[in-house]
Amino acid sequence: MNAYEARQIAAGLSFETKAFIGGKFIAAQSGGVFPTVNPGTGQQIAEVSACEAADIDAAVRVARARFESGAWSRAAPKHRKAVLLRFADLIERDSTELAVMESLDSGKALNDALNIDLPDLIETIRWHAETADKIYDSVPPVPSDIVSLITREPIGVVGAVLPWNFPLYLAGWKIAPALASGNSIILKPAEQTALTTLRLARLAAEAGIPDGVLNVVPGYGETAGQALGRHRDVDCVSFTGSTEIGRMFLKYAAESNLKRVVLECGGKSPAIVMPDVTDLPAVAEQIALGALFCQGENCSAGSRLILHKSLEKPFMEELLAAFAEWRVGDPLEETTRIGAMIDENHMARVLSYISAGQREGAALALGGERVLPESGGYFVAPTIFTGVTNSMKIGREEIFGPVLSVMTFEDTDEAIRLANDTDYGLASSIYTNNLDTAHYAAKRLRAGTVSINCFSEGDTGAPFGGFKQSGFGGREKGLAAHDQYTQIKTTWIKLKA
């Protein structure tokens, strides 16, 4: 799609801006609203209902009533599958419009929204839809006068708190397994990016998901998010976002009903380049992809390059060339690969990390500044620091922007030690031509995903989640995603003699 076509679609968009509760779009009970801004221009797109505790309570009551009615929770698995497949078809029908809306609302490159996020969302819903009638219960070996059934039941009412970096795609990670398992769900989108989630709600209703089974309640984290986390009639909260806020959801659960909490939080993922690597340009392209995809606003971004000293000069030349291919620009332009930071505050945060890196003695090899200020948008140039150590702020903390920290090593064990010297453990990668080295590293890297000779998060069928402070409580994607939205019941039947 060219920029002219994208702008034509953008000009014709209409936006859902009210909460979706019980099958209806309704204003927040307080009447409050908040602005949603296009990060690429700094201009307001719309005003969205600012829901609070009363609205969350209304959504939970509707979701609980619908769950207890059995209209979805006890529906035949084949029926749930058919409805979810229809839901995916409707998303595919409207995917171009949804992609433009996602780009406007989040600042990401339209090419990413159109060619990555939307196809992955559609695949995710279809994949989990197909599991609805394929996850079997079991019968354990017991004495002959006993019949014992081990059954998997939906957990009940699920709260899903979404991030702003992948609003549609990560909504699918939660919607699909939760609904396929028979739950009711309440989505709390990030206040920066509520528009596409609200549009999904309309498509869900059109697909035939019963009123009250899927609800969307926009609002601020400290009001709507906290109310969802503390609600005593919510059975599970699945949160994707920062580790700092993830801790708060654990507190909310502890202080309320001990609801199940699933956290997918931050990362500071390493990419190790071993001295036996020969195709330096190809590896450099993968490092650039890992660091710059989605403007670096990606929890599993490969933001730390751990490079063998013998490759430092030749590899850095290739890396600079690879970074040069990542053009920053208007998210709707075809040639743009790096869009805008989500908002002005986040841009300032990223720039503050760049300043900290310079103060602490790292060498700025590329970028380091705001660009395209005349657009009114929030753009940061692709940035590389060399001479970084894990004691530096840019080496330890998640920046969530297009900033790569480069450090060097002399032997494999040192590389693994540097890679593991972090509070996080979401993803990692190693580049080597030696199979023994690959397996050795894969077993010792403390991360939920280890990629070898690529930057990858797997596919829909592969579980995704982290170690340490990157999260716990379950896994997104794959069959494992159903575990967090279901609970196991044992039925014990004594037979008559």
Report the distance separating Cα 106 and Cα 28, nearest Å. 23
Report the distance separating Cα 308 and Cα 430, nearest Å. 12
**Largest interatomic CA distance in the chain:** 85
Report the distance separating Cα 345 and Cα 334, nearest Å. 27
Q: Is 16 a catalytic residue?
A: no
User: Considering just the CA atoms, what is the radius of gyration of the chain in Å?
Assistant: 23
Q: What are phi and psi of 66, to 5 degrees?
A: -70, -40
Catalytic residue, candidates 16, 191, 299, 476: 299
CB count in 10 Å sphere of residue 71: 16
Q: Indicate left, alpha or beta for 264 from its phi (over 0: left) and psi (-120 to 50: alpha).
A: beta
Q: What are the structure tokens assigned to 247, written together?
A: 């801790």
Catalytic residue, candidates 16, 264, 318, 333: 264
Residue type, 87: F
The 8-class DSSP code of residue 471 comes to: -
Task: Please say whether the beta carbons of 56 and 62 come within 8 A.
Answer: no
Report the distance separating Cα 107 and Cα 190, nearest Å. 14
Q: What are the structure tokens assigned to 83, written together?
A: 């409805």
Q: Is 299 a catalytic residue?
A: yes
Query: If you write DSSP's letter for every residue of 419-454 in order, what string do you get?
Result: HH-SSEESEEEEE-S-HHHHHHHHHH--SSEEEESS
Report the distance separating Cα 286 and Cα 270, nearest Å. 13
Show Cβ contacts of residue 36 under 8 Å, excluding neighbours closer than 6 positions: 44, 45, 46, 47, 48, 105, 191, 192, 193, 194, 195
Specify the residue for token string 């580049």. 431
Catalytic annotation, residues = 264, 299
